[in-house]
Amino acid sequence: MNSNSTFQSALIMLLGVLILQFIPLYGDWGFWRPNFLLLMMVAWMLYFPDQYGIEFAVIMGILADFIFVSTLGFHILIFSICGLILIFFHRIVVYLQLFHRVTLVLLMILLVEFMCLAIDSSLDKQQSIGGILVLAVISALCWIPLDKFVGHCYSRQK
């Protein structure tokens, strides 16, 4: 598997992630929806940091800014910080068991949510801290199929 086929796989996953992100959820269910763009970025950057580096994190952040109709740069900053953390630790994380990678993603989602709360509070937006742990658990569970797919692409390339 060459870098062109990983690019095709990433585009297919991006299409699926965008469909999941745009499925309408009514009522309070929208709060529990994971940030699928962030989960996709984490999966690809863990396995292929040379092909999908910080530029990929910035592109995914721009896409998230447009999808979530937020200030341009809000998600770029958050995705870039997460991308730098992933690039720094990727050599260790790739060889961890699935349970440990899921725990890492759970902690990453908690970090992202607390960064969002910090930025929103600095802009005087009222946000609730309740439910962040549940959202992180849901996100970590939704990340498992993405990890399996990208892990399969990684093993085919080796």
Query: Whose structure tokens read 């709060």?
Result: 31
Chain segment 63-105, per-residue pLDDT in tens: 998 988 888 888 899 999 999 998 888 788 777 888 988 998 8
**What pLDDT does 40 receive?**
92
List the structure tokens of 144.
Answer: 């498992």
**What pLDDT does 28 receive?**
65
List the structure tokens of 97.
Answer: 């068991």
**What pLDDT does 56 receive?**
93
Torsion of CA 145, 147, 153, 154, to 10 degrees: -160
pTM: 0.86
Task: Tell me how far CA of residue 65 lies from CA of 35, 51, 92, in angstroms.
Answer: 12, 23, 30
**CA end-to-end span of the chain:** 8
**What pLDDT does 128 receive?**
67
Chain segment 94-152, per-residue pLDDT in tens: 778 889 889 988 999 999 888 888 887 777 776 667 778 888 888 899 889 999 999 88
* pLDDT reading at 62 higher than 70: yes
Specify the amino acid at residue 14.
L
* pLDDT reading at 1 higher than 60: no
**What pLDDT does 144 receive?**
92
Chain segment 26-43, per-residue pLDDT in tens: 766 656 778 899 999 999
**What pLDDT does 92 receive?**
82
Sign, CA torsion 1/139/89/14? positive
CATH assignment of 3-157? 1.10.1760
